C-alpha cells in the first residue's frame, strides 16, 4: 500500500530514513536522538542547538526529515527556520519531507504557523 508524504510517495520502509534534529535544550535533543536510534531504519545525521547553525549545515546533509523546535532562541525561531528549509529544500533536495516542527505548547504565537509541516504538541 503506497501512502503519500507532502512531497511525494512515502519512502520505502526498508530504506534508512535520515533525520536532523534542531532543539535548543540539550537533554531533549539527546533524548530524541536516543529514541529515534531505537528504530532500525532511522539514522540521525545531525543535531543542532540553534537555527543559524542548522540553516548553514542541514542542506549538505540532505535529510529526509527535519524535526525542528518551534521556540528556538535567537534571530530565527523554529517556524522561520522551517520556512527557510522549505525554500532551500525545494531547490536542492526535493525528496526531503517538509520540515516538522515540534513544540511542547501551542501558544497563539505558534499556532497555525507551521509551514507545510506538521505540528507536534
Confidence of residue 78 (pLDDT cuts 50, 70, 90): confident
Which comes out higher in pLDDT, residue 12 or 24?
A: 24
Distance CA 112, CA 109 (A): 8
Is the predicted pLDDT of residue 119 greater than 50, yes or no? no
To 5 degrees, how large is the angle CA 9–CA 14–CA 17? 70
Tell me the domain boundaries of the chain: 16-120
Give SS3 for 119. strand
What is the arithmetic mean of pLDDT over 83-112?
Answer: 58
14-53, pLDDT tens digit by residue?
788 899 999 999 999 999 999 999 988 899 999 999 999 9
Is the predicted pLDDT of residue 109 greater than 70, yes or no? no
Which comes out higher in pLDDT, residue 65 or 105?
A: 65
Q: What's the topology of domain 16-120?
A: Rossmann fold (3.40.50)
Question: Residues 38-72, buried b or exposed e (16+ Cβ, 10 A)?
Answer: eeeeeebebbbbbbeebbeebbeeebbbbbbbbbb
Amino acid at each position: 500500500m503506497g501512502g503519500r508524504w507532502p512531497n511525494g510517495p512515502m519512502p520505502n520502509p526498508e530504506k534508512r530514513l535520515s533525520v536532523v534534529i534542531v532543539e535548543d535544550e540539550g537533554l531533549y535533543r539527546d533524548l530524541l536522538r536516543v529514541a529515534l536510534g531505537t528504530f532500525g531504519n532511522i539514522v540521525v545525521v545531525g543535531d543542532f542547538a540553534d537555527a543559524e547553525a542548522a540553516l548553514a549545515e542541514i542542506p549538505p546533509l540532505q535529510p529526509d526529515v527535519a524535526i525542528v523546535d518551534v521556540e528556538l532562541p535567537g534571530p530565527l525561531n523554529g517556524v522561520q527556520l522551517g520556512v527557510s528549509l522549505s525554500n532551500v529544500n525545494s531547490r536542492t533536495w526535493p525528496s526531503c519531507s517538509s520540515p516538522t516542527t515540534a513544540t511542547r505548547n501551542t501558544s497563539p504565537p505558534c499556532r497555525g504557523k507551521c509551514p507545510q509541516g506538521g505540528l507536534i504538541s
